[in-house]
Homo-oligomer: A and B are copies of this chain.
């Protein structure tokens, strides 16, 4: 049973605070192991990567066979059904269209003092994308990571995907091909992250690494951060649905379960202004759990971390949503637009009963890599900007330096940074001579 809360109860605040603070994930401490793997790859390069792949993935490779050849990629792609291929292509087209609008503009202007100022955006030169192997090897994640990188203009995009016992997911290779990925390596774990960050004989180093992974991958990403850029370290997935009584309880139940089925640590929350509707949704969840393929996982998540919260009105729902700062927020209410304007801390918002969250996972267009664990308070989903950086530009004319230079000199002196002040003063003196 999930917990049932009523926001008008006197002890609601305590229960809600407990829900916010609940620790849903116990990451094993693999930091020492990962440190050793990274040092080994830095020291021995390909030899270390190949040994570790033989050990962890039971797969004997060479520096040559570590990378999928174009012919192999074609062979695997040919195994994908026409329906799946068409779905991936539609998804890629829609994701590309959405992300193309994120390309930022350069600016340059000259101000009153005569200073020309501005900035210029440029792409990261090379990026690496980690794709988990096995069950969590999602082709949709390949699209969601690779397309923003290519839209940003990343010239070289490499994927690492482990293939334990040699098992390959053809859809992952097709997604990589559709997204325009340049290199695909069949290696995984901390050794793949180390190879991407530091390079080996066979794998050139990259500047930025993104993509989800297990505890070893996450620990390796944290360790190489600084040497390369990384995306966020994602936690278990979450959804908050705000729904009024004019919804089909079964639809809402399926939306809650589509988070719950990801992971036993996932969290599905419902806020409604109608207690009877909340109970109807919970009953619909139980009914669906009788037959759902992943009922063991989804059932555990719903039992341990699910909640149904009844509120007095939708104002209160928005206020609670902002405290939760959910990764996914579904607004199944009569006027979702106006409610969405009140929900300012959320990774992605899905408006109206015909926008199930699953649309956003695959084909809506926005990215499905989103901030978890309340981090939507301060961070955003993956975007084109994650694969670009901004260089600021400033150019003074002699007159501009004459107008503002003395103030810089004054502040430099107040900070006891004499050379800073002198570098301005030397030029000002020349102007005064002229």
Known A-B contacts A391-B348, A427-B251; the reply to A416 vs B135 at CB < 8 A is yes
Bound form: Cα–Cα A125–B319 in Å: 13
A binding-site residues for B, Cβ under 8 Å = 83-84, 86-88, 90-91, 94, 97-98, 101, 107, 109, 111, 113, 115-117, 119, 122, 124-125, 135, 138-140, 171, 207-208, 226, 228-229, 233, 248, 250-251, 254-255, 257-258, 260-262, 288, 292-294, 298, 336-337, 340, 343-367, 370-371, 373, 375-381, 383, 385, 389-398, 400-401, 404-408, 410-412, 414-424, 426-427, 430
The answer to whether A418 and B294 touch across the interface, beta carbons within 8 angstroms, is: yes
The answer to whether A405 and B229 touch across the interface, beta carbons within 8 angstroms, is: no
Chain B contacts for A381, CB-based, 8 A: 390, 392
A355's nearest neighbour on chain B, judged by CB, is B396
Chain B contacts for A250, CB-based, 8 A: 426
Chain B contacts for A109, CB-based, 8 A: 101
Bound form: Cα–Cα A421–B389 in Å: 37
Chain B contacts for A396, CB-based, 8 A: 352, 354-355, 359, 364
Chain B contacts for A422, CB-based, 8 A: 254, 257-258, 288
Sample of 16 A–B contacts (CB below 8 Å): A87-B408, A87-B410, A87-B411, A91-B407, A94-B111, A248-B426, A251-B426, A261-B418, A288-B419, A343-B391, A349-B394, A350-B394, A359-B404, A367-B392, A371-B389, A380-B389
Q: What 4 A-B pairs are tightest by C-beta distance, nearest first? A: A229-B378, A366-B392, A351-B395, A254-B423
Chain B contacts for A262, CB-based, 8 A: 417
A430's nearest neighbour on chain B, judged by CB, is B248
The answer to whether B394 and A364 touch across the interface, beta carbons within 8 angstroms, is: yes
The answer to whether B411 and A84 touch across the interface, beta carbons within 8 angstroms, is: yes
